[in-house]
Amino acid sequence: MDKSLDGWISGFLGVLIFSGSLPATRLAVADFDPFFLTLARAAIAGLLAGGVLLIFRQARPSRRDLPSLLIVSLGVIVGFPLLTGLALQHVTSAHSVVFVGLLPLSTAIFGVIRGGERPRPLFWLFSGIGSACVAGFALFQSGGGTLVGDAFMLAAIIVCGLGYAEGAALSRRLGGWQVISWALVLSLPFMAAAALLTQPADWSHVGTPALWSLGYVSLFSMLIGFVFWYRGLALGGIAGVGQLQLLQPFFGLTLAATLVGESVAWPMVAVTGAVVLCVAGAKKFAR
């Protein structure tokens, strides 16, 4: 199979898995503190990742790889989960998932800075239009959003784009699943200790939906999704494959409506539709 096509398929699978993250987080923060949720999901995923690395006897990353792994840890293991968890205390998951439309632009910008990619000028035009649609929605759509929640989501998008681009560039040397696994292991001592200190004093009030959601964001959002995602970015290009994130709002809105029971207003669908149309042009001029 062509490496580029293989990258796009892997990237699509990663996006599909990530699409359940915000609805699951929304369910989880109903019973869990966002700080504990961030720590616990990383600790659980870190334990699993460490086991996989031992089973496959992976060599330790070199000293030059440690700064990049630290950036990945701060961006996608700590920053994005924590900031989205805080945001989802103020906004609905249906509202927050539309912010994912900004992730391709954030990822592409950091792909240029950290990955050395150089998309053509028209790529930035289409990406900019798509991002403007999302920003306009966040600014003028009042239902389900607040200034505090939107600010947290915007910060989450910035740190996540950095973590995506940094991890993708490092995946060219280490491999996609190795990057996220080593990043999780690197942060495991702190995350596990902090999770134990911040765990709920009484677990009796934690419902089954919150427990299942914790399992999903730990196993799929924090580990399995990144195996496909980093592989896709490394093979297909950070800026190009990163545009697949524009499909995530469609999946996320569907999950928010079917699983969480939230209403999805027509402006949300209209914005995501306009954004996805922009990905066609951005993809064409990504390289």
Digits of tens for pLDDT over the chain (287 positions)?
A: 667 788 889 999 999 999 888 888 888 988 999 999 999 999 999 999 999 999 999 989 999 999 999 999 999 999 998 898 888 888 877 677 677 778 888 999 999 988 788 888 888 898 888 878 877 776 666 556 678 888 899 999 999 999 999 999 999 888 889 999 999 999 999 999 999 999 998 899 999 999 999 999 999 999 999 999 999 998 988 988 888 887 777 777 777 677 666 666 777 778 777 877 877 777 677 66
Residue type present at position 221: S
Confidence (pLDDT) at 258: 75
Residue type present at position 194: A
Q: What is the number of helices (H) and of strands (E) in the chain?
A: 15, 0
Residue type present at position 245: Q
Confidence (pLDDT) at 213: 95
Confidence (pLDDT) at 189: 94
Range of the domain at 226: 3-284
Q: Which helix H or strand E contains 164, and what residues bound it?
A: helix 147-174
CB neighbours (10 Å) of residue 157? 25
* Residues in Cβ contact with 262 at an 8 Å cutoff, skipping those fewer than 6 apart: 92, 93, 94, 144, 256
Instruction: Spell out a b/e string for 237-247, using b for 16 or more CB atoms within 10 Å of the CB, else e.
Output: bbbbbbbbbbb
DSSP letter for each residue of 210-231: HHHHHHHIIIIIIIIHHHHHHH
- Cα separation, 241 vs 238, in Å, equals 6
How many structural domains is the chain composed of? 1
Sign of CA dihedral 49, 51, 54, 60: positive
- Cα separation, 285 vs 240, in Å, equals 8
Confidence (pLDDT) at 273: 78
Phi-psi region of 207 (alpha: psi -120 to 50; beta: other; left: phi over 0): beta
Q: Are 47 and 39 in contact (CB under 8 A)?
A: no
Q: Are 229 and 18 in contact (CB under 8 A)?
A: yes
Q: Are 26 and 81 in contact (CB under 8 A)?
A: no
Confidence (pLDDT) at 95: 74
pTM: 0.86
76, with CB counted inside 10 A (0-12, 13-18, 19+), is: buried
